[in-house]
Structure 1
Amino acid sequence: MTLISVISCAHNEEEYVDRFLKSLLNSLKGFHYEIIFVADRCTDSTIRKVEKYSSYNIKILKKNWRKWRNSYAEALQFGFANSNGNLISIMDVDLIVPRHFFKVLVPKVKGRTASVAASIITYPDTLMNKIVFAWEKTYRIAPLGKRPYGAARIIQRVALERVGGFRDVFSTDTDLDLRLDRLGYESVVIPSIIVYHARRSSVRASVKRQVRLGRGRYMIGFGLIRTIGHSIFRLKPFILAGWLIERLQNPQKINPIH
């Protein structure tokens, strides 16, 4: 029977843990699974809240160090190294997982299709989240195509092992998809399966995230012209700023794809 290893990484996510785990466990009903919960230098009540679900197959890994620039990618690799499943599911703790997520996506992860992702949409519960939710609708008309994005996906273990797991870059998901593509694998997104991103948005957080994504684009080898186009058509100007900052501060790319 197929074993699904769900890797969830958290740094002080006490606000989201309960809703996330309840939705995740509901979506895993009928599947053989293990949940690898990586508590990355947590100082709040995240771990105590996860421990309430000890009757389920949840393994808590405490990560009390940071050696990589991207501690999130480091936590993913730590979780992957301690997993056993032949399918690896990446699920962030600030997500709300739909009941049919695994039922629909698992059968599609086969052959050369190494990674299958759901659509991630901001949960429109606050004013700022509603603004971001409306903003995300512009993606439908941006001439950039639909690519897998974010942490709501299932990956073949054998493919993830072949590319060497996760790397110390900021655009973790894009980097993974590019390396899979280089080996002849396919990464797809299923638009009909929607996972809500429940984190409360703010202008400051949005700017910070865009800068990190821009840094990540430079690290994995995206050029200036393509990054300018992405910033314009996605209405994310600080991605370009992040690309330029990374180029000035750390001009050496990390084994670029392009």
Structure 2
Amino acid sequence: MNLELSLIIPLYNRPDEIRELLESLCLQSDSAFEVIIVEDGSSLKSDAIVDSFKDRLKLAYYFKPNSGPGQSRNYGAERAQGNYFIFLDSDCIIPADYIQSVKSFLAAKPVDAFGGPDRADASFSPIQKAINYSMTALFTTGGIRGGKHSVEKFHPRSFNMGYTKEVFERTGGFAPMRFGEDIDMSIRMMKEGFSTALIPDAYVYHKRRSTFRQFYKQVHNSGIARINLYKRHPESLKLLHFFPASFSLFVIFSLLLMPWTLFPLSFLGFYFLLIFLDALRQNKSIFVAILAMLASFIQLFSYGLGFMKAVYRRLILGRGEFAAFEKNFYK
């Protein structure tokens, strides 16, 4: 297949982020691609910023009422001219050889869909580097977010995900879910028999959140998403997904036992020492390693609370999906 790439980016109230992302796309070693920006009902519009790049990129900009990132990706895909769609989050910076890496891989091993990993750029703040560690480390996520040695079958995620036009036409694109729409899309692709692959060299620099408060909200919603996914795809729930909830319960249990014994807390201390040493090895910074312990605690505890809340509301009480911290559902 002659690859014609369409990069589709949903956008909500992040003009500074889209500027950085477009600047990185201008530096690609292979410039044969189009970019489609779908502004999802933002109050802080980015049309002027996008216009300033139209002489350097093949660029299309659309503004639509707010409906969430999944439906905005579908909106962009419906208007794309290419035959292979790549979805990127607005808080990503794209390395210069990204497009070339994707094309080289797909030329050697054609697949219907792919995903790529994420990394922390040297320009990221210490908090962003710590959050990146907690979201990708073996000690926290088990390496399921795009590492080379994932412990479960790799599911492409929407911050760095691509699939053919045929996939979009047969699946209908992203479902109108509140959370977890990207993993749902990956599962449905696999059920349809489409081939998927991880492209290790097609990584992006993913900023995620810049404060721990924002990060708490993000991972809390991810915990909710896991039960939403279970309702649609019961086989998707793995033993690993219970770890954050078990961690949260163990922390609460340990604190309740503090008047009598500190023994449970010693296990937590050893666990976070391992995280500190691993984060120090990866980032070569004591400060980032300290922040990585805090980020890892927030990630596991908040995800666990969201997971348990969703179990209670959706599985025990039998209620439907419920509101997130941010009603627009952007991660």
Query: TM-score over 0.5 for the alignment?
Result: yes
Displacement of 1:76: 1.1
More strand by share: 1
Q: Normalized against structure 2, the TM-score is what?
A: 0.66
8 Å contact 1:109–1:154 — kept in the other structure? no
CA 1:65 to 1:135, structure 2 compared with 1: closer, same or farther past 3 Å? closer
Report whether the alignment pairs 1:131 with 2:140. Answer: no
Q: Which residue of 1 aligns with 2:157?
A: 149
CA 1:137 to 1:38, structure 2 compared with 1: closer, same or farther past 3 Å? closer
Comparing 117-126 and 178-187, the one that deviates more:
117-126
- What does residue range 194-209 of structure 1 map to in structure 2 within 5 Å? 194-209=203-218
- What does residue range 82-101 of structure 1 map to in structure 2 within 5 Å? 82-101=79-98
* Among 177, 182, 189, the residue aligned to 2:186: 177
- What does residue range 87-126 of structure 1 map to in structure 2 within 5 Å? 87-109=84-106, 113-123=111-121, 125-126=124-125
User: What does the per-residue CA deviation read over 1:123-167, in whole Å, with 9 as the maximum and x for residues that have no partner?
Assistant: 352121132244345227837552333411221111222222111
Comparing 1-10 and 222-231, the one that deviates more:
222-231
Quote the Cα distance in structure 2 between the aligned partners of 1:135 and 1:224. 20
State the SS of the aligned residue for 1:193. coil
CA 1:75 to 1:137, structure 2 compared with 1: closer, same or farther past 3 Å? closer
Comparing 105-114 and 39-48, the one that deviates more:
105-114
CA 1:227 to 1:87, structure 2 compared with 1: closer, same or farther past 3 Å? same
8 Å contact 2:209–2:215 — kept in the other structure? no
Quote the Cα distance in structure 2 between the aligned partners of 1:136 and 1:206. 10
* Among 297, 308, 326, the residue aligned to 1:244: 308
Report whether the alignment pairs 1:228 with 2:247. Answer: no
Gaps of 5+ in 1: none
Displacement of 1:201: 2.3
Quote the Cα distance in structure 2 between the aligned partners of 1:112 and 1:179. 19
Gaps of 5+ in 2: 231-235, 248-270, 272-295, 322-331
Report whether the alignment pairs 1:218 with 2:227. Answer: yes
- What does residue range 11-90 of structure 1 map to in structure 2 within 5 Å? 11-27=12-28, 29-31=30-32, 33-55=33-55, 56-66=57-67, 71-90=68-87
Tell me the amino acid that sits aligned with residue 151 of structure 1.
Answer: F
Quote the Cα distance in structure 2 between the aligned partners of 1:136 and 1:162. 32
Quote the Cα distance in structure 2 between the aligned partners of 1:229 and 1:185. 30
State the SS of the aligned residue for 1:15. helix
CA 1:200 to 1:54, structure 2 compared with 1: closer, same or farther past 3 Å? same
Quote the Cα distance in structure 2 between the aligned partners of 1:160 and 1:253. 27
State the SS of the aligned residue for 2:63. strand
Comparing 188-197 and 105-114, the one that deviates more:
105-114
User: What does the per-residue CA deviation read over 1:44-102, in whole Å, with 9 as the maximum and x for residues that have no partner?
Assistant: 25221111122332111101243xxxx11121111112222110010112111011112
Displacement of 1:186: 3.0
Tell me the amino acid that sits aligned with residue 201 of structure 1.
Answer: S
Quote the Cα distance in structure 2 between the aligned partners of 1:63 and 1:191. 34
Quote the Cα distance in structure 2 between the aligned partners of 1:21 and 1:58. 10
Quote the Cα distance in structure 2 between the aligned partners of 1:96 and 1:22. 8
CA 1:140 to 1:85, structure 2 compared with 1: closer, same or farther past 3 Å? farther
Displacement of 1:6: 1.0
Aligned residues: 249
Comparing 149-158 and 130-139, the one that deviates more:
130-139
More helix by share: 2
Q: Which residue of 2 aligns with 1:3?
A: 4
Q: RMSD between aligned alpha carbons?
A: 2.8
